[in-house]
Amino acid sequence: DAKTTQPTSMDCAEGRAANLPCNHSTISGNEYVYWYRQIHSQGPQYIIHGLKNNETNEMASLIITEDRKSSTLILPHATLRDTAVYYCIVRPENTGNQFYFGTGTSLTVIP
């Protein structure tokens, strides 16, 4: 798997956009970028994934740079319930058995 690098922690004011960066400079052409989050004491929750194009769903937007070496997860209007550890994972298509979650970014949404 391509290695990913994320900041250890971030704060965001409630109601503002939370922008969580991820570097994956060794990503290869067939590797997808996945984002999951884990709220304290719960199982990981899928957020979004993409290959090349920017993606948006009801939870978040994923912006992938043109060279695909980095991406940003955007939570458009962060709420207190978005406080969690966010994991960026790079996985090749059709080899999705083993997710290496790393240590992720601990996002704290501040009232």
Partner 1 sequence: DAEITQSPRHKITETGRQVTLACHQTWNHNNMFWYRQDLGHGLRLIHYSYGVQDTNKGEVSDGYSVSRSNTEDLPLTLESAASSQTSVYFCASRRTMNTEAFFGQGTRLTVV
Residues near partner 1, by CB under 8 A: 32, 34, 41-46, 49, 87, 93-104
Separation of first and last alpha carbons in the chain = 37
Smaller CB separation from partner 1, 21 or 92? 92
CB of 17 to partner 1, least distance (A): 23
CB of 87 to partner 1, least distance (A): 8
* Number of CB atoms found within 10 A of residue 22's CB: 25
Residue 61 β-bridge partners: 56, 74
Residue 109 β-bridge partners: 12
Smaller CB separation from partner 1, 16 or 54? 54
